[in-house]
Chain A
Amino acid sequence: MSEFVVASDLAIEYRTPRGAVRALDGADLRVAAGASMGLVGESGSGKTTLGMAMGRLLPSNARRVAGSLSVGSQSLFDLDDDGVASLRRRQLGFVFQNPMSALNPTARIGKQIGWALERKANQREIHERLQQVGLRDVPRVAHAYPHELSGGMAQRVVIAMAIARRPRLLVADEPTASLDASVRGQILELIKSLQREIGATLILLSHELSMVARTCDVVGVMYGGRVVEAGPASIVFNAPLHPYTQALLKAAPGAERPGERLTAIPGMPPVLIAASVGCSFAARCHLADETCRRTRPEVRHLPDRQVACHHIEAASPRGGAGALDPS
């Protein structure tokens, strides 16, 4: 399968009054066309920066330090403004965390759907778009202002706007974080089914492992601005290799037996101000040694996944997994 999104060694920093903060520190990511990839990580792991970079939607104080990022076959950081505008218009759709701030409070829903479509749309087309995202009582919704909708309905509208031009890449940044637990599942289902329907590649940014496990075929785990482990969701979640992925899974509720305690990861995620010298997880990792603190682990491409760790043999949950020769 061809790869639709390729990030290689991407480093991005934000210039702040108190110095630069490195949000991405050499992120490597490959997403196959048509796949659904979940990017998981704590706050500050760089997943939002990576997601927004895919539309070159980073704030003006962000600067690419190194590496490249391409969407489709276009290298994003080599495009001029017109190129970016046309890429966004033709290929990208974004679903944001808070649907209320993703809708213009001063315009009716129908009008905003019309703005999102490629060309002038008539009322019937607008109503079809709203039906497509599972909204009932479509004429009333089309005539309403955003504040008159519930969070779940508003998020459906945002999704309708994101897929209005049949994008080839759909980036959803914590699309259910601000919604009621009862509608989260429905919204995820909707995103997934629409993604399949239009044949788009989906990037789902989330800190909820269970959500990613249910929704995505592929998963990328981010830590300290790098993708530390990525591969098919079933493999990464069932047999995690990177110590961070393992710790994350132990800390996540869902699969524990009755009476079993969840294990929190000690320490805090790092705030990088420059490229990290060693492995950024070393300070919190039970396997860390001098090598981890001195040299950056390179991304190793195994047959079934990629992982960036010096100790994947020792970390292997299955003991000595013989097939996992470092390349």
Chain B
Amino acid sequence: MDAGRNSILSQCSKAMRADPLMAIAAGVLALLLCVGVLGPLLPIGDPTAIGIGPRLAPPSPAFPLGSDELGRSFLPRVVGGILVTFQVAATAVLLTGALGAVIGLIAAYYRGRVDTIVARLADALFAFPAIILGLMTASILGPGDLSVIVVIVAATLPLFIRVVRSVALSIASREFVTAAEVAGASPVRIMAMHMLPNLMGALIIQFTYALSLGMLIESGLSFLGLGTQPPYPSLGSLLQLGATYLAIAPWLVFAPGVTLALTILAINLLGDGLRHAIDPLPGRALK
């Protein structure tokens, strides 16, 4: 039925009205994603086409963001980079969310030894810096999108496990879980039908934070040449190009840098807004 969806929509619109910053952030994010997704359809050229223009040209009507070191127009490359960076990060974070939810639920439902082992493993994983993980993974799997995804999963999985586990622990002690146990529901059913829906809010909030972290990791690894490989653009590799030619073509660093910063800021603001909207105890949120 539609009452539930309506109420979620109306809740969201209420939250947006109460928090205009969140509404702006959502708008900016939607705009950037639309541009990224529709990029191939826009009349700005193919990001991977062979360059025919002057090299490192300053912005001009023909090259709105200038051209890169191979004479390619920079605008389609930045637009393509948004999509690549977002796609890689979102894929990885969706994967992590599912994995983290399952592991966290199992740990919280069974408690005891399972819980202790999961919590310690999450702590151990959390202790690795993402860059070290990235260098390690890239040397094993070779640079590319796959190793970036693996690194993002490894870096954000502990966050998901911790959040899911702590929320699920409190849900597991609620009486409707006991009632379901009395009714003879299997553990899988209890976790899927009774516990998971009750921690979706926390999961969604964590998702936004993990997404911004994932985009940063993707850009960072691509900056180091371990992520998305040429000819495909990523915001990180475009930044690296800009940094290389900073002295002679300083404009190249602006477009990918501003885009990346704006996207991550928008995601974080959206996450904050969602947390305020969903968290029943805003007074206890960290200031």
Contacts and interface: CB of A to CB of B under 8 A. Distances in A.
B175 A96 contact: yes
B119 to A, nearest CB: 16
Contacts of A94: 178-179, 182
Contact of A115 (B4, B112, B183, B200): B183
A14 to B, nearest CB: 14
B198 A116 contact: no
Given A85-B184, A165-B183, A101 B197 contact: no
A232 to B, nearest CB: 29
Interface in A70-93: 85-86, 88-89, 92-93
A59 to B, nearest CB: 8
A57 B197 contact: no
A251 interface: no
Nearest to B197: A106
Nearest to B186: A85
Contact of A57 (B182, B184, B193): B182
A89 B184 contact: yes
B176 A115 contact: no
A102 to B, nearest CB: 4
Of A86, A94, A102, A106, the most chain B CB neighbours within 10 A belong to A106
A105 interface: yes
Contacts of B112: 60
Contacts of B179: 94, 96, 102, 116, 158, 161-162
A98 interface: yes
B111 interface: yes
B181 interface: yes
Contacts of A105: 198
A55 B175 CA distance: 13
Interface in A140-199: 143, 145, 158, 161-162, 164-165
A89 B111 CA distance: 23
B17 interface: no
A93 B94 CA distance: 39
B101 to A, nearest CB: 15
Contacts of A107: 193, 197
A93 B198 contact: no
Chain A binding site: helix, strand, loop or mixed by DSSP? loop
A106 B183 contact: no
A104 interface: yes
Of B111, B175, B193, B200, the most chain A CB neighbours within 10 A belong to B175
B185 interface: yes
Contact of B193 (A89, A96, A115, A162): A115
Interface in A31-78: 55, 57, 60
Contact of B198 (A85, A88, A104): A104
Interface residues on B, range: 20 to 34
Given A57-B181, A88-B183, A96-B179, A143 B198 contact: no
A308 B247 CA distance: 93
A104 B197 contact: yes
A98 B178 CA distance: 13
B194 interface: yes
B113 to A, nearest CB: 11
B255 interface: no
B1 A161 contact: no
A103 interface: yes
Nearest to B176: A104
Nearest to A97: B175
B14 interface: no
B21 interface: no
A186 B184 CA distance: 29
Contacts of A164: 183
A120 to B, nearest CB: 14
B180 interface: yes
A101 B176 contact: yes
B120 interface: no
A322 B251 CA distance: 107
B198 A106 contact: yes
A116 B112 CA distance: 28
A103 to B, nearest CB: 6
Given A60-B111, A104-B198, A115-B193, A55 B176 contact: no
A164 B179 CA distance: 12
Given A104-B194, A106-B197, A88 B178 contact: no
Contacts of A103: 176
Given A96-B178, A106-B197, A106-B198, 14 more contacts: A55-B182, A57-B181, A88-B182, A92-B182, A94-B179, A96-B175, A101-B175, A102-B176, A102-B178, A104-B197, A115-B180, A145-B4, A161-B179, A161-B183
Which 9 residue pairs of A and B lie closest in terms of their CB atoms, listed nearest first? Answer: A89-B184, A106-B197, A102-B175, A96-B175, A104-B176, A101-B175, A88-B182, A116-B183, A101-B174
28 contacts: A55-B182, A57-B178, A57-B181, A60-B111, A85-B184, A88-B181, A88-B184, A89-B183, A89-B184, A92-B182, A93-B182, A94-B178, A101-B174, A101-B175, A102-B175, A103-B176, A104-B197, A104-B198, A106-B198, A107-B193, A107-B197, A115-B180, A115-B183, A115-B185, A143-B3, A161-B179, A161-B183, A165-B183
